[in-house]
Structure 1
Amino acid sequence: MLETSARLLRLLSLLQSRPEWSGPELAERLGISVRTVRRDVDKLRSLDYPVEVDLGPTGGYRLGAGAALPPLLLDDDEAVAVAISLQTAAGSGGVGVAGLGETAVAALVKLERILPERLRRRVAAVGVSTVAPLRPTPSVEPATLVAVGAACRDRRVLELDYTAFDGTGSRRRVEPHHLVSWGRRWYLLAFDLGRDDWRTLRLDRVVPRVAPDGLATGPRFTPRAVPGGDPAEYVASKVRDVRPLRCRARVHAGVDEVRARIWTDQVRLEDLGDGTCRVHLSADEVHGAAVILVAMGLELEVEAPDELAVACREMGERSLRAAGAQKLPARGCAPAEDLG
């Protein structure tokens, strides 16, 4: 027969595994009497677990919703499934669901700390594959997310190797404060102790130096106040203009409409107060910038550079040649075969 504390954990696990149990079923599973089941349920309820009791002949029991989430007891297969799911969500940055990626990192940090070695090996043996996007972006290893996320949570100084945009490598010793997902990338907002200043580091270029358990071993630090108070806005202000080409255009639409239509994160919008706005765009090359602006489907005038105006003009000429002499539908109407 199980000891009382172990038996209570087993009872809690059973109650979490299905919607309802009868008293005799629980007694058989636990190898105890129905009377002992009732006593154990009373103990769980005294610990604020919301166990609901049906006082009918069979004495049904169910775990209801309480004010707080009770500890979840997972078997081996369930723990592996949850870890792999969290790795997938964390590795993708939670694309399409606001905040999912960072939440998955926090949950994965907790789970990784308590997984037995045999389960760690099972999780590591499962390769998670995703369909590559049309414009692939650098991916972040889940182990890096776990290590950096844990250092942020535990407020521990982190040593890391970092590769800059130009390929130059450096060793950093930082106070990691926040993980921020911006656009399609993860960034670490940290205070660089060697440079005595704040730094925004792309996480796909970070290699943390950690202990065999994957966690930072540096001393604890007292959090500093982030400049401006908002970590996400601070990171955004630093990474908006990192591309080499600077473009500027006046768009005949308000800021909200332009923000809803433009798909790049390398942009800053300036409200001109007359129903138009100025788009400050960073890009790798001029033709890519032209595509981004024209694809909004809004009237605009290119202000700078001159090469961007040329690229937009060439794009228009190519579009006219592509249409040729084909009879086109009225503006705003789709061909019948395109309507579904």
Structure 2
Amino acid sequence: MANTSHRALRLLSLLGSGRVWPLRELAARLEASERTVRRDIETLRGLDYSIATVHGPDGGYRLGSGNTLPPLLFDHDQALAVAVALQTAPSTMFGLGDDASRALSTLHQVMPPALRASMESLRLTRLRNYWEFPGPPIDPEALTAVGTAVRRRRVLTAEILRPDGSRPHPGDADFQPAHRIEPHHLVVWAARWYLVAYDRTDSQWRVHRVDRLRPRPTTARFAAREFPVDDLAQFVMGTHDRGDSPEEWPCTGSARLNLPAEVVARWAPGGSVVEHLDGQHSRLTLGAWSWAGIAGILATFDAEMTDVRPVELGEACRRLAQRWVKIEAE
């Protein structure tokens, strides 16, 4: 009976994902025969769960609309996934660390003893790696406003903030009137939140840093537009004008690379800025804990460099080149 109950809960958890599950795949996931899975489905139906049968070559079973799952229906693997996710959540929102800790504590209190023991077995300490380039935390209200606008297809009026979060005023050199944008995709990349949107102000598809937007929801709806490229990830990573700005590091430098901006933007580390110069050249500005660190990152692009700034960065590049020549000679 215990095995049957556990399997039925596991089945309900799978069906709760919202997708259509072929019988063969359900049987494989539950490590049971197809006949047993059919019997478990009938058991759940007897408990008033509306499990629909979808006919056709892509058919199977799914949970009917209007059904809700019992609260906190987690299996062992899901409990571990939640524990890991909450403890390793990046600090990309204000207060997220404290909220994640409180959420984990709440889950511990209401979990069955066996699952609670599994979650408590994964007490983690998260350390920052110096190769991480996290962006500043985001205001949860701004993120919620953007996410809601994406889901409901509502036009946003958004002001572009300075890298330090301040608001330009009319008369300032960097002042821009509020943009009216159609938000299509919310993307997380390199520990930064980006919004892919169609900007009605200049009729262009753009990528905006969410932490540099001050969004104001509107009631105006918009129709889905055809995306300019097939690969969303390629579009975001290949867009050099994303609103990025150099992070604060002990050393910051730049170089002119014999590579197009879209190529450099895709592989540049978070916290760097790519400037479009012409079709075959761009300028990369980035920081690191030492001049040699910047030189090493620039070397990964395997391209000709000129106009290296400041002088300390150029000297670091020459020192590394001399070391590499010695290695080759040996």
TM normalised by structure 1 equals: 0.46
- Larger Rg computed on CA atoms: 1
TM normalised by structure 2 equals: 0.47
**Higher RCO by CA contacts (8 Å cutoff, separation 6 or greater):** 2
